[in-house]
Amino acid sequence: MTTVLGCIADDFTGATDLAGLLARSGVKVSLRMGVPGALPTATAPFEVVALKIRTIPVEQAVEQALQALDWLQAAGATRFFWKYCSTFDSTAEGNIGPVAEALMAALNTKQTIYCPAFPENGRSIFMGNLFVGQQPLAESSMKDHPLTPMRDSNLMRLLAPQVTQPTGLIDRLTVARGADAVSSGLKQLDKDGISHVVMDAVADDDLHVIATACRDMPLMTGGSAIAMPLPALFAADGLLAADAPRMTQPALGPSTVVLSGSCSAMTNKQVAAYTASGCATYRLDPLELATDGPGPAVAWITAQDLTKAPLIYATAKPDSVRAAQDKLGVQRAGEIVEQALADCAIAARDAGAQRFIIAGGETSGAVTQALGVDRLDIGTEIAPGVPWCFATSKGIPIALTLKSGNFGTESFFSDALSKLEPA
């Protein structure tokens, strides 16, 4: 099957978020963990390449994104999507803007859009300012993010230092007038030399208007929600066949492990709620891991009844995170936790686990790499943008859900269990 849309995501949870929304169409979506080493074979109509490039050096991020683009072009894709977090996690140096400009150059296109809005998850953009619920981004919990603290809510100001060409805005008043008005606005901005266009969106209808106006662009960028209307639009345009392949779910046993490395405000609530339900839990402390290693945690998970879905977590409040980072360094503190959770995932799989609930983008990357997962088929959605995914690890069929830190409700871990009944 020739690929219709090729997507590149800057982390693993963001990739599953995007893949899950595309899969709402019922059409098969394939998620690749990293750039595949082989030439494309047996591709899906929608291919998503998950990279781990949100916070790595800009040059490396650009190189990996271009490699992913080459693979997706070889798969037959002619339209492309650069996916980043709906809270625009990025620094003044990058990586959102530099990757977008590199993709634009490779595709020989002069203009693209930026729309991280996800109204269903409380992310909206008004007059170029990003809101998380009713709070401006810079007043939300993202202001204390350990890697990409967001201290400005204006997307044009955030983007401008990252790119070499001017930034502009299509505001909510234009979007409210419909797709033709958006198209006209983009053409005028193009005449004015504006290459990077932020799009206001406060409701799902806005996303449909924007996607309708922009669906012929070689490159769109944003959060996952702006891509959600594309399958129906491509089908209407005749790009997506009516008999496109569908997803089938494999049979799985009940053994489960929950692994949480995210320290977001919502994941803290989710860990607290799941702990209160009476499950077995083990808390990872970066300082203890630095001296004792992951051995005690691995021994603990190996001894658990995995049919009761035990939880191992490093989730903590911002003050605790900063204290560990002050002693170990930001990068080292994160790497220690990621490696421990990856080791625990391997131990759980070897003890019979076939279902993995994982919270946090960096954690998801570390765990999927440790399990040797390089392709996922996208299944049932647990929460908006968070699906169950299916793969094999060491020849064993497994299911994983890779949850971005702030996604889902407080009951997410329990919800995930109820959405995937054992065979």
What local confidence, expressed as pLDDT, does residue 212 receive?
Answer: 98
Backbone φ and ψ for 126, nearest 5 degrees, come out as -135, 125
* Under 8 Å between Cβ of 25 and 19: no
The domain 256-419 having CATH identifier 3.30.70.20: the answer here is no
Asked if the domains 5-236 and 256-419 are classified in one and the same CATH topology, the answer is: no
Query: Which CATH code for domain 5-236?
Result: 3.40.50.10840
Domain boundaries, the chain: 5-236, 256-419
Cα 187 to Cα 413: distance, rounded to the nearest angstrom:
45
C-beta neighbour count of 291 within 10 angstroms: 7
What local confidence, expressed as pLDDT, does residue 421 receive?
Answer: 65
Cα 121 to Cα 96: distance, rounded to the nearest angstrom:
21
Q: Give CA separation, 210 vs 42, 142, 224, 231, in Å.
A: 31, 26, 13, 14
Counting Cβ atoms within 10 Å, is residue 239 exposed (0-12), middle (13-18) or buried (19+)?
Answer: middle
Which residue blocks in 255-357 are alpha helix, DSSP H? 265-276, 286-292, 295-302, 318-328, 330-350
Across the chain, which has 423 residues, the per-10-residue mean pLDDT values are 92 87 90 87 91 92 97 95 91 91 98 96 95 90 78 92 97 98 98 98 97 98 96 93 73 94 90 95 90 94 97 85 80 87 97 96 89 90 88 94 88 92 54
Strand partners, 7: 48, 81
What local confidence, expressed as pLDDT, does residue 423 receive?
Answer: 46
Nearest residue to 314 via CA among 254, 359, 352, 379: 359
Q: What is the per-residue pLDDT across 217-250, written as a single tens digit (0 to 9) for each? A: 999 999 999 999 999 999 999 998 877 766 677 8
